[in-house]
Chains A and B, each alone.
Chain A
């Protein structure tokens, strides 16, 4: 049971961070379908820090890992920002390209690194067994990690920023009616850049949180197995509101955790269901949830539409 709670919290914090990233981007009017790729890049950034700065003490290590993933995530999200905001490109296509690009680039890069150190090592895996200890926190019987703390801080910060600050309200205006926002002197392009960069920041953090959840090495060939898209489902289920997104993330985190630990529950094992069913569960539930939540969608009105100053 404690293992279930532990995994639920870990996965929920990952999903929440990434979904919140998507939320900021969409409130500014840009659909970030490249979150999956942003996660891979953030994971790569954090993993590289762990690989090359393994000598650091716990706290500096933690800070550097977070910084590494944030920087990688934000730089990578610029790919979306430039294409979608400056060049008015199709956001779905750009997102798809980014997802493919991130996994391919990370694989090529990590394989090249591994081969440089040891010519016989052609894997795309980075190990961080020792370094991972800096991230985890032991609290009673639980092994938690710092990303949960970050997730809670992010929740509080996002509620304040989105609804209580000038920046947040302006950001949301750009996603609802950019022409109106522009008419009162808000720079729509700047706001959208901010939205996308914040999604890169949070997505990158989510990426490193994901690859340190329960495992101590990561094979970059596998990307992040659709987690970025699950996060988007969480965001839609949460109706683009931070608090609701947090609750949705808890539900999906629980489902995802079940596939890791269901063998520990006699009741579930006795059902005799195939293990693949538990793997599929988050995806199936998210489809159901989307079918329910999408009809009365509270999506930002102008999301996905490139902003054209001359348009009425």
Chain B
């Protein structure tokens, strides 16, 4: 039979996902562009180009390279949050609490670094465990008390924010609301660069966190698709009762999933704050957006760990690009708006793929019918 036709590019699941994601991005950018035009038609082009160019905004290549490094530094935590959301989603749980777990990770990492002068790896592990435990708490509530994980996560997001703000107030600079800078207070808490920074015009925030995050993406892919644990977790996600019937401990699996998911988000926070690029604002009144952007990246990446690497970079690219728009005309939140629209369209991906497959199927049957008539 016509095997060639069946294996055509359009039929390939990976290609469909990529196509769907690209359409989402195009639609998101289009709507964003329309919004820009509505606000001020004469500046819209420049603003859109600024968002899309991000670090290329700087004409000198070495400066652009340095800012490219900064975008990558922020991509690493976003990738971790993406993996966190993705991992939970594969098991049928929606981890909207990645932001809260990220907050706890940031809090513990910075507190250990500044108050107890711990080296970077201890801080990183603490961030991981802290995020993981918060995730496990959500998982336990879900497994034993049937609490909707989305609502529980949101509550934990706010509780973590207030707790971490209180905790980090103890190690903040006396004159500002920022936590003390790691470089002056405890250089040993900064993740080593191992020469990576020289690749990015000496951008000192570029550390091994970036390759580590990519390693974690590969690790998540490996665990999900090649191990017994991944299989069990996915089975629990598909059908809790069937998994139970097959002898899997479904409650343990839910908690374990949320623990791992939380660990990933916590590590992400460690990757950002232990690079020294940002200090925590103790007067922060909103939960960090990293976890929410992680949701966007996870779905845009077609819920695949390797796809997430690309989508996380794209989303960070657009988010960073938002800061280059002309602030006298537009708000930098325009990039948040574009991302939100992209996520909204991502929810249509399923139906889009469904329609595409049906078209292909119809064409195939028609071709077959013709052949039969010959």
Interface, chain A (partner B; CB < 8 A): 33, 79, 83, 87-90, 92-94, 96-98, 100-101, 103-105, 107-108, 111-112, 115, 119, 122, 124, 221-223, 225-226, 229, 232-233, 236, 274, 276, 279-280, 283-284, 286-287, 290-292, 294-295, 297
The answer, yes or no, to whether B299 is at the interface (CB within 8 Å) is yes
In the assembled complex, B341 has its CB within 8 A of some CB on chain A = yes
Which of B39, B96, B154, B165 counts the most A-chain CB atoms under 10 A from its CB? Answer: B154
A111 touches B331 (CB 8 A): yes
User: Using a CB-CB cutoff of 8 Å, which residues 134-173 of chain B contact chain A?
Assistant: 141, 145-148, 150-152, 154-159, 162-163, 165-166
- Report yes or no: B333 in contact with A90, Cβ–Cβ below 8 A: no
Nearest residue in A to B334 (C-beta to C-beta)?
A108
Given contacts A108-B334, A112-B329, A274-B166, 10 further A-B contacts (CB under 8 A): A93-B343, A96-B94, A97-B344, A100-B343, A112-B39, A276-B162, A280-B163, A286-B151, A287-B152, A291-B147
**Chain B 270-322 interface residues, beta-carbon cutoff 8 Å to A:** 285-286, 292, 295-296, 299
CA of A94 to CA of B346, assembled, Å: 9
Q: CA–CA, A276 to B285, complex, Å?
A: 11
Report B-chain residues with C-beta under 8 Å of the C-beta of A90.
347, 350
A–B pairs, 7, beta carbons within 8 Å: A94-B347, A100-B343, A107-B331, A112-B40, A221-B333, A229-B151, A284-B155
A108 x B330 contact (CB < 8 A):
yes
Complex Cα spacing A119 to B154, Å:
36
Chain B contacts of A88 at CB under 8 A? 350-351
- Across-interface contacts of A221 in B (CB, < 8 A): 286, 333
Shortest CB-to-CB span from B228 to chain A, Å, is: 28
Contact A107 B333 (CB under 8 A): yes
Task: Check B158–A226 contact: CB distance below 8 A.
Answer: yes
Of chain A, the residue at the smallest CB distance from B32 is: A108
Establish whether residues A96 and B286, one from each chain, have CB atoms under 8 Å apart when the complex forms: no
How many of chain B's residues have a CB under 8 angstroms from any CB in A?
48
Given contacts A89-B351, A295-B145, contact A284 B159 (CB under 8 A): yes
Are A108 and B350 closer than 8 Å at their CB atoms? no
Chain A residues with Cβ below 8 Å from B159 are 280, 283-284, 287
Chain B residue numbers with a CB within 8 Å of A279 are 162
B348 CB-CB contact with A under 8 Å? yes
Q: Which of A88, A97, A232, A290: most chain B CB closer than 10 A?
A: A97
- Are the CB atoms of B158 and A233 closer together than 8 Å? no
Q: A108-B35, A276-B163, A294-B145 are in contact. Are A286 and B155 (CB under 8 A)?
A: yes
Q: A104-B333, A111-B331, A283-B158 are in contact. Are A93 and B163 (CB under 8 A)?
A: no
User: Is B152's CB under 8 angstroms from A93's CB?
Assistant: no
Bound CA–CA A51/B340 (angstroms): 27
Structural contact, B155 and A287, CB atoms closer than 8 A: yes
The residues of A that contact B337 with a CB separation of less than 8 Å are 101, 104-105, 108
Q: Which residues of chain A are within 8 angstroms of B96 by Cβ–Cβ distance?
A: 92, 96
CA distance A33 to B154 in the complex (A): 11
Docked-complex contact A104 and B162, CB < 8 angstroms: no
With an 8 A cutoff between CB atoms, is B327 at the interface?
yes
- Cβ-defined contact, A294 with B148, below 8 A: yes
B328 interfacial by beta-carbon distance below 8 Å: yes
Contact check: which of B151, B333, B343 meets A108 at CB < 8 Å? B333
CB distance from B66 to the nearest CB of A (A): 27
Chain B residues whose CB sits within 8 angstroms of the CB of A83 once the complex forms: 344, 347-348
Task: Give the shortest distance, in Å, between A26 (CB) and chain B (any CB).
Answer: 11
**CB-contact partner of B336 in A89, A104, A225, A274, under 8 A:** A104
How many angstroms from the CA of A196 to the CA of B145 in the assembled complex?
28
B339: Cβ under 8 A from any A Cβ: yes
The 7 A-B pairs of least Cβ separation, nearest first, read: A101-B340, A104-B336, A89-B347, A111-B331, A100-B340, A104-B337, A97-B344
